[in-house]
Amino acid sequence: MNPFWNNIFRGSGYQDTLAYFLGTVPIFAKLNKRDLRFLETIVHERRYQANEIVFEEGDIGSGMYAIRSGQLRIYTKDEQGSEINQAQLEPGDFFGEVALTASRPRIASACTTEPTVLVGLFRSDMLEAVRKHPSISAKILLGLTRVISDRLHQSNLQLLDLQQQQRAKEPQQP
């Protein structure tokens, strides 16, 4: 088939849009297309080179990021300054979401491992959206709450599992 006609019948290419990408991020998954188009207007797309620092442990968080393309690693440093890898993140993953609600120091660093495109949503933009578009903002914040709640639940389960493993290793009292 002639590529000119093929493109007409293929559709609008919505899957290539920023709005579509945002809809794949769990925090924004419950937003409808109209809400996603609004969200598209308040996020910031940034391009990073390989081995570029996005933020460092101890920096005051200003917002969250979703990886549109590329990869990055999340790491902490021990007392000697050696890096300890915590996670390797890929397209579709997101990080730093707690910074949307609280101005606190980051607990880890983020550094790209290859050329990477990040989509950032910053607290200042979210606060402005809350004032001007409370309905959409409520959906975003409910999505954020759901994700943080799920992560807290998972952390609690892991902690309980570690405690049970510790108890199993302890010598039994006669």
Residue 123 is assigned to a structural domain of this protein: yes
- Can you give the CATH number for the domain in which 42 is found? 2.60.120.10
pLDDT in tens, the chain (174 residues): 445 554 455 555 777 899 999 999 999 999 999 999 999 999 999 999 999 999 999 999 999 999 999 999 999 999 999 999 999 999 999 999 999 988 899 999 999 999 999 999 999 999 999 999 999 999 999 999 999 999 899 999 999 999 998 888 887 766
Residue 8 is assigned to a structural domain of this protein: no
Residue 7 is assigned to a structural domain of this protein: no
- In order of 39, 51, 121, the CA distances from 94 in angstroms are 16, 18, 11
Residue 25 is assigned to a structural domain of this protein: yes
- In order of 7, 37, 47, 106, the CA distances from 30 in angstroms are 29, 13, 27, 27
Q: Which two tokens stand for residue 12?
A: 């609008």
Residue 166 is assigned to a structural domain of this protein: no
Residue 28 is assigned to a structural domain of this protein: yes
Cα 71 to Cα 81: distance, rounded to the nearest angstrom: 23
* Per-residue confidence (pLDDT) for residue 170, from 0 to 100: 83
Q: How many domains does the chain have?
A: 1
Query: What pTM was computed for the model?
Result: 0.83
* Per-residue confidence (pLDDT) for residue 1, from 0 to 100: 46
Residue 12 is assigned to a structural domain of this protein: no
3-state helix, strand, coil in the chain (%, to 5): 45, 25, 30
> Which residue type does 130 have?
V
* Per-residue confidence (pLDDT) for residue 92, from 0 to 100: 94
Reported in sequence order, the residue ranges of 39-130 that DSSP labels E, i.e. its strands, are 44-48, 53-55, 63-69, 72-77, 83-89, 94-95, 109-112, 116-122
Residue 164 is assigned to a structural domain of this protein: no
Categorise residue 36: left if φ over 0, alpha if ψ from -120 to 50, beta otherwise.
Answer: alpha
